[in-house]
Amino acid sequence: MPEPVVSVRDAYIYQGNKCVIEDLSFDLAPAEFVYLIGKTGSGKTSLLRALYADLDLQKGQAFAAGYPVHQIKRKEIPSLRRKIGIIFQDFELFRDRNIEENLFFVMKATGWNNKIKMEQRVEYLLGQVGLDGIQRKMPHQLSGGEQQRVAIARALINEPVLLIADEPTGNLDPIVANEILDLFIKIG
């Protein structure tokens, strides 16, 4: 049996002083596709933030992409995040940069420096998400579904071992939402 890509044991997750998740334990295997469902305010986003070390895990243990998140040092967080692709509900694209520049920003921040390889990777990823040839477009020139596809391409830049999507279809109409879910299945 392969080692889990995520392993959580006896975790308690807090937002400020409020405990939003109590005594949580689970494992996720490589290539496993999991939905996290719950009411607003039930801690879904808090759990995801804890997995990529954006929220401290105050009690319990969590391992993500080979890192002990419960005791991770601040200087190790960038390395962890290179192994995790994060897709946000509201896309988080820079409005003042074209699509290629948005993707280059992440690439440069994670150690890419060969412009030819960067251009090739951007072209490949945009093709993977069905957006060939949009490198020079600005985010406002794209539909919500297209912006979410760019966000997915961005999350895949460093070939992550774990892909986390926080309500990736929350701002999309039902037809586009189904297309995004189909895309997740295709790239999974």
CA 180/CA 178 separation, integer angstroms: 5
Mean predicted confidence (pLDDT) in 171-185: 84
Mean predicted confidence (pLDDT) in 47-71: 95
This model's pTM is above 0.85: yes
Q: At what angle do helices 115-128 and 99-109 cross, to 10 degrees?
A: 120
Element (H, E) at 15: strand 6-15
Confidence of residue 164 (pLDDT cuts 50, 70, 90): very high
Query: Which residue reads 């030819």 in tokens?
Result: 116
Mean predicted confidence (pLDDT) in 57-70: 95
Is it the case that residue 70 has pLDDT exceeding 90?
Answer: yes
**pLDDT tens digits for 118-138?**
999 999 999 999 999 999 999
Position 139, amino acid: P
Sheet holding 57-64, edge to edge: 18-28, 6-15, 57-64, 67-68
Average pLDDT of the residues of the chain: 93
Is it the case that residue 180 has pLDDT exceeding 90?
Answer: no
Sequence-ordered alpha helix ranges (H) in the chain? 44-51, 77-82, 99-109, 115-128, 144-155, 174-187
